[in-house]
């Protein structure tokens, strides 16, 4: 969540400049404003930051975002920025479609805007707004949060989300059957979205998994000076450590042993060591 908020803050800082540049391109092409669309747009709060929609359609209650038409010169950059307009537009569209509570219409080219409002209203998309309670949970959550929480819990157990869902043996009358089928679709697309962001974003669990026992080969390219501090490690609140973190620790120490690394001391070199501090009565994973 911190990464998303940081990304939103960075994008909000250049948003007005991006809007002005896009609306300028569309106006020059004779495609803006569009009849039935209020070109004044609206301010929209997303992840605590203020963004501006290029337009607003009152009768649909929908925000309008403009894209960079393919006929425009390639490599256009957002004025005053080193980033490309196409990349900034894509990131903004993803934020609106994921977190905006109202319908969003994204016009990616001039052709899509050639018709009336009635002709473009089919492009409206909106973020799901209903709550869902997975069996065993203490209460319901917005569906997007429920997807993320369930997937994160699987990863905390050291499981690959997509593979774990495939191996589930849920009966046809299980109320969660459709939820987990949808979760698999969501998680696959969510990972694609994070990779496509500029710069790419990774979840906390994904970073551990990349250097866990399943990704042990990745550890072999880590420079010695990065691994050296890990040769003396203390983990506090150990009862709350998930299987993914355990796998990362095991893989890291296996790599330290493979390289025959030693702890640098004032005396003779010592072997790598791990100290864990925790209370098993408080374990959240049992």
E strands along 198-272, which residues? Answer: 232-235
> Is the domain of 7 the same as that of 74?
yes
Could you tell me the residue range of the domain that residue 181 belongs to? Answer: 131-201
The pLDDT-based confidence of 1 (bands split at 50, 70, 90) is low
Of 80, 107, 123, the one marking the end of a domain is: 123
CB-based burial of residue 62 (10 Å sphere; 0-12 exposed, 13-18 middle, 19+ buried)?
buried
Average pLDDT over residues 204-219: 88
> Is the domain of 12 the same as that of 69?
yes
User: In the chain, how many domains are there?
Assistant: 3
> Is the domain of 35 the same as that of 100?
yes
CB-based burial of residue 189 (10 Å sphere; 0-12 exposed, 13-18 middle, 19+ buried)?
exposed
> Is the domain of 9 the same as that of 81?
yes
> Is the domain of 155 the same as that of 267?
no
> Is the domain of 45 the same as that of 146?
no
The answer to whether the CB of 251 falls within 8 A of the CB of 216 is: yes
Candidate from 65-79, 80-94, 137-151, 195-209 with smallest mean pLDDT? 195-209
Give the span between the Cα atoms of 201 and 196, in whole angstroms: 8
Candidate from 108-122, 151-165, 176-190 with smallest mean pLDDT? 108-122
pLDDT at 2 over 60: no
Q: Which of 26-30, 152-156, 240-244, 263-267 has the highest mean pLDDT?
A: 26-30
Of 171, 201, 231, the one marking the end of a domain is: 201
Average pLDDT over residues 110-118: 76
User: Higher confidence at residue 163 or residue 114?
Assistant: 163
> Is the domain of 256 the same as that of 235?
yes
> Is the domain of 36 the same as that of 7?
yes
Of 91, 123, 155, the one marking the end of a domain is: 123
> Is the domain of 6 the same as that of 66?
yes
Bridge partners for 43 per DSSP = 52
> Is the domain of 24 the same as that of 137?
no
> Is the domain of 113 the same as that of 7?
yes
> Is the domain of 92 the same as that of 18?
yes
Give the span between the Cα atoms of 221 and 259, in whole angstroms: 12
> pTM for this structure?
0.55
């Amino acid at each position: 969540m911190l990464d998303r908020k940081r990304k939103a803050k960075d994008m909000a800082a250049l948003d007005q400049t991006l809007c002005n540049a896009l609306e300028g391109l569309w106006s020059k092409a004779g495609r803006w404003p569009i009849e039935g669309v209020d070109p004044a747009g609206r301010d929209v709060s997303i992840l605590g930051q203020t963004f501006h929609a290029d337009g607003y359609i009152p009768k649909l209650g929908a925000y309008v975002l403009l894209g960079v038409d393919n006929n425009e010169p390639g490599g256009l950059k957002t004025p005053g920025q080193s980033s490309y307009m196409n990349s900034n537009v894509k990131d903004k569209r993803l934020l609106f479609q994921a977190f905006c509570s109202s319908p969003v219409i994204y016009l990616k080219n001039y052709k899509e805007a050639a018709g009336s409002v009635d002709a473009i209203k089919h492009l409206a998309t909106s973020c799901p707004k209903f709550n869902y309670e997975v069996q065993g949970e203490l209460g319901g959550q917005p569906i997007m949060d429920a997807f993320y929480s369930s997937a994160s819990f699987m990863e905390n157990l050291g499981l690959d989300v997509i593979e774990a869902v495939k191996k589930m043996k849920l009966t046809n009358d299980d109320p969660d059957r459709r939820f987990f089928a949808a979760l698999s679709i969501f998680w696959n697309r969510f990972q694609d979205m994070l990779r496509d962001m500029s710069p790419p974003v990774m979840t906390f669990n994904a970073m551990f998994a990349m250097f866990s026992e399943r990704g042990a080969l990745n550890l072999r390219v880590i420079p010695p000076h990065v691994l050296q501090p890990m040769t003396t490690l203390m983990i506090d609140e150990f009862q709350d450590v998930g299987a993914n973190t355990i796998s990362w620790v095991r893989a890291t120490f296996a790599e330290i042993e493979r390289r025959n690394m030693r702890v640098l001391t004032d005396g003779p070199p010592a072997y790598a060591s791990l100290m864990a501090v925790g209370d098993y009565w408080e374990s959240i994973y049992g």
